[in-house]
Structure formats: C-alpha cells, structure tokens
Amino acid sequence: MDAAAWDERYRGAELVWAAEPNRFVEQELTGLEPTGRVLDLAAGEGRNAVWLAKLGWEVDAVDFSAVALEKAGRLAADRGARLHTVCADLTAWSAAEATYDLALIAYLHLPWQQMEHVLRQAARAVRPGGTLLLVGHAAANLRQGDGGPQDPRVLYTAEQVATVWRAYADIVRAETVQRLVTTPDGPRTALDTLVRAVRP
C-alpha cells in the first residue's frame, strides 16, 4: 500500500489500531531510563510514540501517512504529551547519525531490500549505548499464525533482522513470540518477530 492508500485507511474518526502501546514494545522498553531521544519509524497513529513521550522521552514519529500523523498529534494532545512528527517515506529518508537513544520499528513490512535499508538507517541513527527494537509479523505467521500481511515477500524472521543489526549492535534478544488476538471465530495466536539490540 502506498501513502495515499494508508491515508484513506486512516481517514476515519476512530483509531485503526488501539491507543495503547503494543504489548511487546511496552514489555521491552518499560525498564529503560526515559532521558533521551526516540526515533519511532512507521509510527502510524502514534500509539507507541505517545506512550514513550508520556514516559518522558523526546520522540520523533516518522510515517508516510500525513493523516496518521495528524491523528498521532491529536492523541498526543489528548494525553498531554509532546510529539514531533515527520511525514516521510522511510525508503528514501534518513535520520542524522548517532542522534537517538532508542530507535523503534513496530509492524513495518516492506520488500526485504527496502526493509534492510530501513534497518540500517535505524541502526546508524542510534548513538553508542542506545537501544534498537523491532516488532513485526513473523514469516512463520503466514502459515502458523493469524492475521498480518499475507505476502511472504514483506515478512521476515528474527534472524534476518538480527543479521543486519549485528554489523552495528549487540543482539540482546531475537526470537519469534506469540500474541493472542481476538477474532470473530474466537481467540487465535499470531506469531511476531521480536529483535532487541544495543549499540556498543
């Protein structure tokens, strides 16, 4: 889907996704001292960015959907949080190097060559001692899980992500995790890729 298609999807008054942060983002990042800058790539409507801003982080939320970022701004205002938004296509945008203390990528799915570019940009944007975190639909979810993209070309494994980030950071965690989801047919299990790394 391109930016116009995502704009259309986000155009409704209601949030497409929940207002609360992703469960794995919350679990992995709650213990970090919120004293620096965050780069949230593919921030969407801002659920994770706003949560991080409320904790005290200075957050730059980047997405190619202007409509999503407008909603992120409203969510931040409603919750008394400050958020800086950047409307940009991540396949053609880059952050200043060694600028951020945390880079987050949550449920960004692109063809692997483009995804690898974004992963490298995220790693370069984090300063020494900073954290990288990715959460996304796992490749195994296509056949063994529920929901998510149905195109194998935009899915990835933890090892694929970790292999890219090892050139820049120490891998703390790289695995497939389970996420319970509610469907019209009852509860189902989705499989997600989770990779956390720290730049030395």
pLDDT at 184: 86
pLDDT at 50: 97
d(CA 19, CA 3): 21
**Chain segment 1-46, per-residue pLDDT in tens:** 565 665 566 576 565 556 699 999 999 999 999 999 999 999 999 9
pLDDT at 33: 94
d(CA 34, CA 102): 10
Residue 135 in contact with residue 24, Cβ under 8 Å? yes
Number of residues in the chain: 200
Residue 72 in contact with residue 46, Cβ under 8 Å? yes
Structure tokens at 179: 């996420």
Residues of the chain with pLDDT under 70: 1-10, 12-19
Would the pTM count as exceeding 0.85? Answer: yes
**Chain segment 39-54, per-residue pLDDT in tens:** 999 999 999 999 999 9
Contacts of 90 (CB under 8 A, 6+ apart): 41, 42, 62, 64, 108, 110, 118, 121
d(CA 59, CA 91): 20
Count of other CB atoms within 10 angstroms of residue 37? 19
Structure tokens at 38: 């965050």
Angle at 65 between CA 73 and CA 51, to 5 degrees: 40
pLDDT at 182: 87
pLDDT at 185: 87
d(CA 129, CA 169): 9
DSSP string, 93-109: --PPTT-EEEEEEES--
pLDDT at 183: 86
